[in-house]
Structure 1
Amino acid sequence: MSSQRREPRSRLLVVDNSIFFRDVLAETLRSKVNQLAIDSVKSCQEAQRLLQTYPGQYLAVVSGLILADAREGEMLDIALENQVPAIALTSALDAETRQVVMDKDVIDYFFKDQDGLQDVVDLVSRLLRNESHKVLVVDDSPTYCTYLKVLLQRQHYQVITAFSGEEAVDILSRANNDISMVLLDYQLPGMSGYDVIRRIRKQYTSAQLPVIGVSGQMDQQIPAQILKCGANDFMYKGFTVEEFYSRINNIMDLLVSMRELQDAAYKDFLTGLHNRQYFYPHANSLLDRAEKKNANIGLAMMDIDHFKRVNDTYGHNGGDEVLKHVANLMQKKLRGEDLLARLGGEEFCIIFYDMTAELMVQRLEEVRMAIEEAEIELPEHTLSVTISMGLKVRNDEDLESLMESADQALYQAKEGGRNQLIVA
């Protein structure tokens, strides 16, 4: 297995003869893609200087095919020499120009018009998005694995490679659901591509983990077999780079859209935390994993003190601001792997995974004190709130029993004067 994660790129370079087109494109990118610093120049010489000034910082170079000092598309070659993906802009889209551009190993090319502007913005946004996605490439040929890896890394995907079906299954079993797509050769030694897909589909749906099958055999039966066993798409190995990127990006776009819909269903609209629908199945999964790995689990119930009084005094808008502020403080103080959810009203719940009881208490006390000390700014008022907490460290309880014990501890914290943590 091999994997490589690149450092996030923070800049984008636009190079074109036309001052008007260059400025419009740069301003459009600045307004739509505000994560990047946009550098805009007219010549290859200026672009080279910037590439040397900011090595390793450019997400991509967007360049006209013909420049005053580089009339044969040399700017695209220079970008690749600096290990920066290149996007070509052209005033002609005939077959000859297309071939010239694709021979430069660009990731895409666009016509210099209004539609082309939007296409560039969409592609740059996709490149940024791709940096958070891992693709597993499975092929018994190291040479072909390397070829696919290079193509995918130009689009800023993180790439993991495996050279057998068994290795691929092992990687997926340890991946913690962080692989976004599998690119799989149908014919593998040992476990076949067909068997690998069947194993994948026992754990993931086609919407959760897309699989694209590939084959070097021009057998018309193979695509049907691969698609029937659960692949999302199929390509023969003689594909063009354009076809490859189109298929990969179309499936990734669909995956991202599906995840956004799922996030909307599983996120609390006000605080951005997970909601009840997300919490219960994932909490049970955490408990199962902890049992298998003999890991420590703790569950805390938390409730904002006198929240009804906040709503009565400052209105529901004030109450909403308090909920958002408290949720934000919790997220800052807790680990990303901790399961934090708003269960309803002013009630929150957190599950600590693989953490000592002492550290759980320490983290919760840090959260409690941060909330107590914070000032919440409202349009005409400044207020502060406190929170009560109940913690139960798991022995052999199921989720319902854990929550009941933590809730009883929370009740004791409320009865004992609030603004405190009680451990059951």
Structure 2
Amino acid sequence: MNENILVIEYRDEVVEKIIDILKERHYNPIPTKSRSKGIEIANESSIDLIILDADIGDSQGLQLLETFKTEENTKGIPVILLSTPYRKMEFIEEAIGLGIDDLIFTPFDEMEFIASVNGALKLKKLFVENNKLIKQNNDIEEELNNLKDVSEEHYKSFKEAQKKYDDILNYDLETGLDNKKEFYKQFKKFVFESVRHEDTIILSCFCIDGLENIINEFGIMAAEEIILQFTKVLKDASREEDLIARFGNNEFIVAFKRMDIRLYDEKVEEIKNLVRKNELDYNGMLIKYTMSAGISYTAYRKTYHFENNVEKEVAPSLLALHNAKRRGFASVYIHPTIIRK
């Protein structure tokens, strides 16, 4: 991790506790008791998070918070405010109005504290990534606008820049998988090809069981690691000609091309076994998880008429996943459209 965390706190025992917790999890705490020194460090150092005592400098914590949230060099740094639980509601409302990222009452629980730190750092990371994407998007749009007016000899460069722009819109940034829009686009081609060759398609929708519980207990960063692990499982269990996409935060779909209807049981069991072997070592805790699946089957024969409605073709597998989740963890539901042979 090694993120730099500025700790502005005047109580020695609280500072020592915070430093121990942060160092144990490989963060880099930078403590100070001085209000002015805190401003100096925040402006001159690379700080990822500020933990600020509301009572620093004769209860001037909110003034310091306002400084951090308005100065150009520090307004992008998340701030966690430490306070006693006896503050009036007006104080809390003022802190929220100044843009506080979290509020922790002392004395605090260690796990709640580190969950708050992880959450604030995650927000910082998303803020930075979002700004990068916005800048990248603006740069590419500017490049496209400039290239539209160039001569024919530069047309190839224009098309390459356009492809970069399209890529940003067509894949999931976290997993690298196609997003729903791109899946529907590719699946439509998939369908026409299957009609032409009289092939079959097994559509499998998956979700990670209890993902919200994992977020609540271990934090969103642990959940993201599990999502990446599960993405790798789906890639390992599929072939190059299959389609894989992320439909939502916890909704994945795989279109298995030319799969015999009798083989989908084996394929789902293979994915289950790969998931069983996964475990995440997160801050000294082992996290295991299961997955649920919904399966549908589409037979494209000479007598089949494709209605050009991709969403309608995918809907049975999504409904099957919904029914699987209703049955509990590690469930598999087969849509009635599948006829066992």
TM range (shorter): 0.3 to 0.5
Structure 1 length-normalised TM: 0.39
- The alignment's TM-score, normalised by the length of structure 2, stands at 0.48
Choose between structure 1 and 2: higher helix proportion.
Answer: 2
